[in-house]
Amino acid sequence: MNVTRGFTGRPRVQNAGLPPGQYDAGDDWPVLSAEVTPDLTPADWSFRIDGLVAEPHTWDWAEAHALPTSAYEGDIHCVTSWSKFGVRFGGVSLDAFLDTVRPDASATHAVAYSHTGYTTNLPLADLTGGRAWIAWEYEGRPLPAEHGGPARLLVPHLYFWKSAKWIAGLRLLDHDEPGFWEQNGYHARGNPWEEQRYSGD
């Protein structure tokens, strides 16, 4: 251990919800998108799942909203080391969308892509079982554009770059294919509890 002379750090908090190397950002919610925030209205928005599925499907805003609503209440973790506790997102469980398209047994991974062209890769297992959402509300209000509104992917058990803003679709694949940050040195999976920040972690 390389102790830094004189460094004491913040008061220690016993917070079982804080993954290693993270700090509690409190009320802050930093915006870290690498691209220009798009002008995207609900009328412009669509969400498609295709690739290794029985029936590819594209939902528009109204059709997506006709699915059963589902909320996430919990924490989110950014790779830049802030975590945010007790946030509440509203939307639809990704399971509801996947039920419609019926993933092929050979599908193991997905590339999530945004209306901006941003991409991120995920194991399909991280997108199923009630652990991923298409979210359009934050704290009961429409999700702001800079946070990915009108709708973003939400996969809160992974670092937040996996929760693609301005979500446009998922392509299901039988192999893993690195997305935007993953091609730029970031970890393929991004599990905050194992501190998978960079490739090789």
Partner 1 sequence: MTRTTSDTTATGPFVPPTRFAVPGRIAVSNRAAALWQTATLTEVRRETPHASTFRFAVPGWAGHLPGQHLMLRLTADDGYTAQRHYSIASPPDDAGHIELTLDHVEGGEVSGWFHTLAKPGDEVEVRGPLSGFFAWPGDRPALLIGAGSGVVPLMSMVRHHRARGLTVPLRLLVSARGPEDLIYAREYGAETTPVFTRRAPEGVPVGRLAASQVAPLLAAEQPPGGWEAYVCGSNAFAEHASRLLVAAGQPVDRIRIERFG
Q: What is the DSSP letter of 193?
A: G
According to the binding rule CB under 8 A, does residue 32 interact with partner 1? yes
Which of 129, 148, 128, 130 minimizes the C-alpha distance to 138?
A: 148
According to the binding rule CB under 8 A, does residue 58 interact with partner 1? no
| Contact pattern for partner 1 over residues 150 through 169, marking x by CB under 8 A | ------------------xx
Q: Please give the single-letter amino acid code of residue 77.
A: H
Q: Could you say which of 18, 19, 24, 37 contacts partner 1 (CB under 8 A)?
A: 37
**Between residues 90 and 163, which has the closer beta carbon with respect to partner 1?**
163
Which of 199, 177, 185 minimizes the C-alpha distance to 110?
A: 177
Q: CA torsion 41→44→45→51, rounded to 10°?
A: -160
Q: Which residue has the tokens 């901006």?
A: 116
The tokens of 42 are what?
Answer: 């609900």
For residue 54, the tally of other CB atoms under 10 A from its CB is: 10
According to the binding rule CB under 8 A, does residue 68 interact with partner 1? no
Q: Could you say which of 19, 42, 56, 74 contacts partner 1 (CB under 8 A)?
A: 56
According to the binding rule CB under 8 A, does residue 51 interact with partner 1? yes
Restricting to residues 83-122, which ones interact with partner 1 according to CB under 8 A?
104, 111, 113-119
Site of interaction with partner 1 (CB under 8 A)? 1-10, 12, 21, 23, 28, 30-38, 50-56, 78, 80-82, 104, 111, 113-119, 146, 168-169, 171, 173, 177, 180-181, 183-186, 197-201
